[in-house]
Amino acid sequence: MSVVCHLSAGWLLDHLSFINKANYQLCHSHDHSGLAFVDDPATAASSDGALVEAVSLDAKNYCRKDSIDEIKAPEEKASLMKRKRSSELNHGERDALEYHLKISGLILDGTRSLVQEGLRSGFLQPSSSKQICAKTPVIEHSSLAELCEMAKQFPSVNETEQRAVCMISEDSCVPEQVRVSCITENTTNYAKIITLMGQKYLFPPKSAFLLSDISVMQPLLDYKKKFGIIIIDPPWENKSVKRSNRYNYLSHWQIKQIPVPALAAPGCLVVTWVTNRQKHLCFVKNELYPHWSVRGVVEWFWVKITKSGEIVFPLDSFHKKPYEVLVLGRVQQNTDVPLRYDSEDDVPQIPDQKLIVSVPCNLHSHKPPLTEILKAYTKPDVECMELFARNLQPGWTSWGNEVLKFQHIDYFTAFQNKSDK
């Protein structure tokens, strides 16, 4: 379970618990060994079958922190910032400031209540006098995005082969080769080790993935599944991305070409992560969702804190905010019939302006797990999909040109259950 507590303001989540409670037991034998993350590399060697995590899940990268109880009233500080900077702001920056002023009080009050509950429960610990800033280790391996580009140059295959779903064998514990641009399924109840370009990756149980870019999405359309939850984390265009050669980005036009309605089951819950740029937020709400027939649109906010309950950046920071926006809605193909939730078979209406408060993972752009929260607003046993994924989740289908990135075996370590010793 990832939810630590649920209040009227929203949810306090635990990333690490979600990852380690995913069933990463290997093979279906009497050997109950598995793979997992642990919270702190400093706890590497314990006497009961140590776990060692390649990357610590904490906000130690963030050295600028504010205690949630020490933040001044947002209206006071933002007003001061507005007076100082209003003459220097461009149109987009003014829109962003206006939006921030509108939601900052909600974020401050809701985060404070969730943090206080986290401290009472012992999940969050008061900060010590010494703060440590740790750099995220970088694991060097083949670029999956480059591999997708290479795959386009491979000789063409016949239509049957191209549309095939690659199944991982039930009784195999040997690393299996992965095909690019083909959906790969692990239908077993056990994690599998798979190989790609000589690198090993951890494949969760009951999950599937397609390693490809936006030009090769046909296998998803040919897949027999329709999805009741679709999470999208697009590579948004911005100035820093344009200046960098490390990341690809998509234009608004390209994002609109993603065939979400064709992938969605009736009433599918669509969740899109949006950067703190009003241009992108307005695009999602006013262009993208209408284009996909997504209606009943609401906004949630992911607030980033440390393990001691401090927000990772000042709430009124002009250049970087401690929160990100999620835009949620449902696919409604028949626009003549209004969305209704008054029968036993229908699901609850999605609430507006909820908070998701959590300690962010040090892995770059690793978003909090939303499965447990979102399934409360869908019918039972829905199929779930993540687009532009960079890791896999049990029970989910994932797509992207770096979909295996954070499943690399170097991010995990082996352990042995105490009961087997």
| Identity of the residue numbered 171 | D
In a domain, 56, yes or no: no
Kindly state whether residue 88 falls inside one of the protein's structural domains: no
CA-to-CA separations, 184 to 144, 164, 194, 374, in angstroms, rounded:
15, 9, 10, 25
* Residues contacting residue 224 through CB under 8 Å, at least 6 positions apart: none
**pLDDT score of 313:** 87
Q: What is the CATH number of the domain that holds 286?
A: 3.40.50
The total number of structural domains in the chain stands at 1
| Per-residue pLDDT at 34 | 54
**Quick check: is 387 in a domain?**
yes
* Domain presence at residue 180: yes
Domain presence at residue 110: no
- The secondary structure element, H or E, covering residue 386 is strand 384-387
On whether residue 3 sits in a domain, the answer given is no
The pLDDT value recorded for residue 153 is 60
Is the residue at 72 inside a domain? Answer: no
Query: For the whole model, what pTM was predicted?
Result: 0.82
Q: For each of the chain's 421 residues, which pLDDT tens digit applies?
A: 689 999 999 999 998 777 776 656 665 444 445 555 443 433 333 333 333 233 333 333 333 344 555 444 444 444 444 444 555 788 878 888 899 999 999 999 999 999 999 999 999 998 764 444 444 455 555 577 777 776 666 554 454 444 467 877 666 555 666 777 789 999 988 888 888 888 889 899 999 999 998 989 999 999 989 999 999 999 998 765 454 444 478 999 999 999 999 999 999 999 999 988 899 999 999 999 999 999 999 999 999 999 999 999 888 887 789 999 999 999 987 655 555 544 445 788 999 999 999 998 776 567 899 999 999 999 989 999 999 999 999 999 999 999 998 888 888 877 655 544 4
Report residue 274 as tokens.
């949006």
Tell me the Ramachandran region of residue 417: left when phi exceeds 0, alpha when psi lies from -120 to 50, beta otherwise.
Answer: beta
The backbone torsions φ and ψ at residue 370, rounded to the nearest 5 degrees and listed phi first, read: -110, 0
- Closest by CA position to 298, among listed 322, 324, 323, 271: 271
Residue 30 lies in a domain: no
DSSP string covering 8-47: TTEEEE-HHHHHHHS--BBSSSS---EEE--S-GGG---T
In whole angstroms, how far apart are CA 312 and each of 37, 215, 275, 302, 342? 22, 37, 16, 12, 41
If 0-12 CB within 10 Å is exposed, 13-18 middle and 19+ buried, where does residue 299 land?
middle
Domain that holds residue 262: 144-302+319-411
